[in-house]
């Protein structure tokens, strides 16, 4: 069974029932689904996130706890829970579509600089998915590449020797092209914060490799500030891992646009 298979489903009837505890929606449509959540748009104004898997329940609760504190510190919109249930929440709709291809390097760098400088009172876990732990992440990246018929480059094997870094800042934790929204050519928001945690900045660098090229990377660094070679290498490993996993997912679910973009991102990162 694929790891993104739903353990329970929130269909329109169930979504309407849960949302009606806050207000009666005049219109309701499925906005999207990911591995962990179903997202419904009510009255073209409010976005409600409902878990599809048990693992997502504590992640949604973490979002509820921290996003309100983070939002005023960031230069781009993020979801802020307004209607809060036990395992779901509703936030104002952020317009835009998933990041298509390349990202604006300066805007991404400014956003991550602000996020990594942010302070929250909520106690967050230390990189619970081991994103920056290369002895854990490199084998997974190699397996993900093999699943789509790609060989692992030498630098990927070499990255396994990097030690796990101490957590130093708040990180998004799962920053890839599906979680950055673009509207009119500009980044309009950053969504899906279920993996928000404390970690090394490298955890949030996959898009530096998969969605930026030469000039974009220079603009990113000008806005963000210096990064060590080890941080960049960890971010590159994560970029390869995420692109390969998402390409496999997109092929299985027949999401042709996503498959094309993730494979292009993989080529940039490789």
Torsion of CA 179, 17, 255, 240, to 10 degrees: 30
Tell me if 4 is assigned to some domain: no
Listed residues 63, 93, 123: the one ending a domain: 93
Average pLDDT over residues 122-137: 96
Whether residues 112 and 137 share a domain: the answer is yes
Beta bridge partners of 47: 41, 91
| CB atoms inside a 10 Å sphere around CB 215 | 10
Q: What is the pLDDT of residue 92?
A: 97
Lowest mean pLDDT among 7-16, 63-72, 74-83: 7-16
pLDDT at residue 66, rounded to an integer: 97
Residues 60 and 89 in one domain: yes
Does the pLDDT of residue 127 top 90, yes or no? yes
Average pLDDT over residues 23-45: 93
17 to 20, 26, 92: CA distances (angstroms): 5, 13, 19
The answer to whether residues 84 and 108 belong to one domain is no
Please indicate, yes or no, whether residues 30 and 115 belong to a single structural domain of this protein.
Answer: no
Query: For residue 5, what pLDDT band results from cuts at 50, 70 and 90?
Result: confident
**Residue 201 is part of which domain span?**
98-269
- 192 and 86 in a single domain? The answer is no
Across residues 1-6, what is the average pLDDT? 73
Same domain, 168 and 218: yes
Report yes or no on 242 lying in a domain.
Answer: yes
Residues 262, 200, single domain; the answer is yes
Q: Are 165 and 121 in contact (CB under 8 A)?
A: no
Among 56, 74, 93, which residue terminates a domain?
93
Instruction: Clarify whether residues 178 and 204 are in a common domain.
Output: yes
| Confidence check: pLDDT of 71 > 90 | yes
| 79 lies in the same domain as 27 | yes
Q: Assess whether 142 and 252 both reside in one domain.
A: yes
Q: Is position 52 within any domain?
A: yes
Final residue in a domain of this structure, among 72, 93, 114: 93
Residue 78: pLDDT band (50, 70, 90) is very high
Statement: the pTM of the whole predicted model exceeds 0.85 = yes
227 and 111, same structural domain?
A: yes
Mutual orientation of helices 256-269 and 229-252 as an angle, nearest 10°? 160
- Looking at residue 47, what is its pLDDT? 97
Asked whether the predicted pLDDT for residue 189 surpasses 80, the reply is yes
Q: Percentage of residues in the chain with pLDDT exceeding 70? A: 100
Q: How many domains does the chain have?
A: 2
Do the domain assignments include residue 188?
A: yes
Q: What is the pLDDT of residue 212?
A: 93
If asked whether residues 71 and 170 sit together in one domain, one would say: no
- Tell whether the model's pLDDT for residue 196 goes beyond 90: yes
The CATH number covering residue 150 comes to 3.90.1200.10
Residue 30 and residue 38 in contact, taking contact as beta carbons nearer than 8 Å: yes
């Amino acid at each position: 069974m694929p790891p993104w298979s739903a353990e329970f489903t929130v269909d329109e009837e169930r979504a309407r029932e849960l949302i009606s505890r806050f207000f009666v929606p005049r219109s309701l449509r499925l906005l999207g689904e990911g591995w962990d959540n179903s997202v419904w748009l009510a009255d073209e104004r409010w976005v409600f996130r409902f878990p599809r898997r048990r693992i997502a329940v504590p992640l949604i609760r973490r979002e509820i706890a921290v996003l309100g504190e983070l939002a005023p510190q960031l230069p781009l919109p993020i979801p802020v829970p307004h209607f809060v249930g036990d395992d779901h929440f509703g936030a104002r709709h952020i317009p835009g579509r998933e990041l298509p291809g390349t990202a604006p390097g300066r805007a991404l760098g400014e956003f991550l600089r602000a996020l990594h400088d942010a302070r929250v009172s909520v106690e967050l876990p230390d990189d619970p998915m081991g994103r920056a732990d290369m002895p854990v992440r490199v084998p997974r990246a190699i397996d993900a590449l093999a699943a789509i018929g790609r060989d692992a480059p030498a630098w990927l094997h070499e990255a396994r020797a990097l030690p796990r870094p101490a957590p130093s800042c708040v990180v998004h934790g799962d920053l890839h092209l599906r979680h950055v929204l673009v509207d009119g050519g500009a980044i309009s928001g950053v969504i899906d914060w279920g993996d928000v945690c404390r970690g090394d900045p490298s955890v949030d660098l996959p898009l530096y490799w998969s969605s930026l090229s030469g000039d974009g990377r220079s603009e990113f660094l000008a806005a963000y500030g210096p990064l060590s070679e080890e941080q960049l290498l960890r971010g590159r490993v994560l970029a390869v891992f995420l692109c390969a996993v998402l390409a496999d997912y997109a092929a299985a679910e027949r999401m042709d646009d996503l498959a094309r973009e993730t494979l292009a991102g993989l080529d940039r990162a490789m």
